[in-house]
Structures are given as C-alpha cells and as structure tokens.
C-alpha cells in the first residue's frame, strides 16, 4: 500500500476499533495510516460491539486499515465481513504464519485487497519468504513484542537483529516495500522513539508501528529524507548530468550507478512527501 502521494507509509497508528472518535484524531496527528484494531485492543466480550462500531464509522473519505483477529479464532470470518465494506484500505493479519490464511482473505475480499502480514511468531518468521511472495501481501510488519515472548528473547536490540534483517531481506526478494518495524512501548519519551526509529531505518525498515499519537511525528521525521540528504542527492544528480557518460567524483568519492540510484530514490521520496 502507498499513500495518496504515491509514497510508502512511514507511520502506522493503532486505534481501538471501538473508539471511532479517535480515528480523525489519529489522522490529524499526521499518521500515514491508521489501523482500527479488532484484536489486542478489544477484550473478547466486546468483539461484536467493536465490530459494529467500526462498521458504522467506516468512510471511503478516510480509509482505514483493519487489524482483524487471527485466522484461527472464532472472530476471523465476522471480521472479514466488516472489511468488505467501503472505507477499508487493507487488512492487517496478526500472527501471520501460513500463506493459506492470506488466500482465505483474498478469496473473501478479492485479490486486490492489500494484506499487511504481521510477523509475530517463530513459525511466521520461518515462513516469511512464502508469506511475502503471496500476491495479496503488500508489506510485512514486525510484531516484535509478541515475537520476543514467543521465542523467550529478553532484549530488543542486537537480540532481534537477525530477525529484523530477515524481514528486510525477504521483502526485497518479493519486491515488496521495506518492512515496518514494531512498536516502542514508551509513548512519552520522544528520544526513545526517535532512537528506535533511526535504528530501524539503518537496518532497512521503511516505517514503524505506533501506539500513541505522540510517536507519529518522530517516526515520520525519521523515515523522511533529511535536508542534508536532499541537498546531497541534488548535487549528485547535477554532477552526474553535467558529466554525461564520463566518470565523475563528488567530495572525493566516485559517483557510480548505485550512488546515482540512491540519490534518485531520495529525490523521488522527497517529491512525494511535498506533493
């Protein structure tokens, strides 16, 4: 899924599906995508009520992603029925472990409905390449907290580096947009969210899940080109264009095709954000 300006979403903000009054506030906070959550944010006894509230609040003018309950739960089919209504931009599948579950979504909602596969378990990580290759999958999301619990991992830095890198790798193999990193549980610490978002960007992620509006600005800033990057990219393009097909250097470094590709990618993303 890409935003209206053609660029990949950077920030994905969860909102409980039964708190529809928060949807507009979430978009007002600057979130690129808002996820109406029917799963973790809603207690089992309130699933039906939350589903009804979401159905009443859906609007094509402000489309939402919907995190449904897991494919192995009693609520899954009813959740999919809600997702068939106008105003749903995509389905977030929690604990994605089998490509067959994505096929179930595609069979019910059509293959054009984007599926965002949330990798949260060892089984999902093991099958991530197959999941990413499914034609309905638009992006992989990392449910890092549930993943840590599933594997008994205590830390969330180097302890998860292998698994983060695997999601980046399989996303590229499947020609998907860069994956989306998991949440930062501290919402009142801008430095912490910025640091974790910067780490995710260095590792190849293209966005981050958010659980509070206060996290959105730091995430959007981190996954947007900096002014320095834009200036560098403009200089690279200018020097390369002036040289024709001749080898050329900038700031003591040769400009070859990978460098030129990087500069063009930065400028495309910047143009999209300014559109």
Residue whose entry in the numeric block shows the structure tokens 């069979």 = 107
> pLDDT tier at 1 (50, 70, 90 boundaries)?
very low
* Same structural domain, 246 and 216: no
Task: Give the whole-angstrom CA distance, residue 218 versus residue 10.
Answer: 10
pLDDT in tens, 119-147: 999 999 999 999 999 999 999 999 999 99
* Same structural domain, 206 and 245: no
> pLDDT tier at 195 (50, 70, 90 boundaries)?
very high
* Same structural domain, 176 and 107: yes
* Same structural domain, 141 and 268: no
CATH number for the domain harbouring residue 84: 3.20.20.60
Q: Is the pLDDT of residue 245 over 50?
A: yes
pLDDT in tens, 74-120: 999 999 999 999 999 999 999 999 999 999 999 999 999 999 999 99
Kindly report the backbone phi and psi dihedral angles of residue 87, in degrees, each rounded to the nearest multiple of 5, phi listed first.
105, -5
* Same structural domain, 101 and 183: yes
- Choose the final residue of a domain: 179, 201, 222: 222
**Residue 10: its pLDDT value, please?**
96
Identify the CA nearest to 268 among candidates 217, 220, 234: 234
- Tell me how many degrees the CA angle 92-126-186 measures, rounded to the nearest 5: 50
* Same structural domain, 245 and 158: no
- Provide mean pLDDT across the span 23-45: 95
Among 5-9, 171-175, 214-218, 268-272, the range scoring the smallest mean pLDDT is 5-9
- Provide mean pLDDT across the span 234-239: 86
Residues of the chain with pLDDT > 70, as a percent, come to: 96
Task: Give the whole-angstrom CA distance, residue 168 versus residue 140.
Answer: 9
> pLDDT tier at 6 (50, 70, 90 boundaries)?
very low
Q: Is the pLDDT of residue 212 over 80?
A: yes
Identify the CA nearest to 170 among candidates 219, 91, 115, 117: 117
Q: How far apart are the first and last CA of the chain?
A: 17
* Same structural domain, 159 and 238: no
* Same structural domain, 235 and 163: no
* Same structural domain, 242 and 135: no
Phi-psi label, residue 3: left if phi above 0, alpha if psi -120 to 50, beta otherwise: beta
Within-domain flag for 2: no
Within-domain flag for 3: no
User: What single-letter DSSP state applies at residue 46?
Assistant: G
Identify the three-state secondary structure at position 110.
coil
> pLDDT tier at 275 (50, 70, 90 boundaries)?
low
Domain count, the chain: 2
**Residue 5: its pLDDT value, please?**
41
Per the structure block, which two tokens stand in for 24?
């507009």
Q: Is the pLDDT of residue 2 over 70?
A: no
* Same structural domain, 166 and 244: no
Domain of 256, in residue numbers: 227-274
**pTM for this structure?**
0.88
């Amino acid at each position: 899924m890409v935003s209206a300006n053609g660029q990949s979403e950077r920030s994905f903000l969860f909102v409980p599906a039964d708190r529809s009054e928060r949807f507009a506030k979430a978009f007002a906070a600057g979130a690129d995508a808002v996820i109406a959550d029917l799963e973790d944010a809603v207690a089992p006894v309130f699933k039906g009520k939350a589903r009804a509230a979401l159905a009443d609040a859906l609007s094509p003018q402000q489309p939402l992603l919907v995190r449904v309950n897991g494919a192995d739960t009693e609520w899954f089919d009813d959740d999919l029925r809600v997702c068939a209504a106008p105003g749903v931009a995509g389905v977030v599948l929690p604990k994605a472990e089998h490509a067959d579950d994505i096929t179930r979504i595609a069979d019910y909602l059509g293959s054009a409905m984007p599926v965002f596969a949330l990798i949260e378990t060892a089984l999902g990580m093991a099958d991530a390449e197959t999941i990413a290759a499914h034609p309905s999958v638009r992006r992989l999301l990392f449910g890092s907290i549930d993943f840590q619990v599933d594997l008994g991992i205590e830390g969330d830095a180097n302890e998860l580096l292998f698994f983060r890198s695997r999601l980046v790798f399989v996303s590229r193999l499947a020609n998907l947009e860069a994956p989306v990193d998991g949440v930062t549980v501290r919402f009142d610490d801008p430095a912490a969210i910025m640091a974790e978002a910067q780490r995710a960007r260095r590792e190849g992620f293209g966005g981050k899940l958010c659980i509070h509006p206060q996290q959105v600005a730091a995430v959007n800033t981190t996954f947007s080109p900096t002014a320095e990057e834009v200036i560098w990219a403009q200089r690279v393009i200018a020097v390369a264009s002036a040289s024709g097909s001749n080898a050329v250097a900038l700031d003591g470094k040769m400009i070859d095709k990978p460098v030129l590709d990087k500069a063009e990618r930065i400028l495309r993303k910047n143009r999209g954000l300014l559109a």
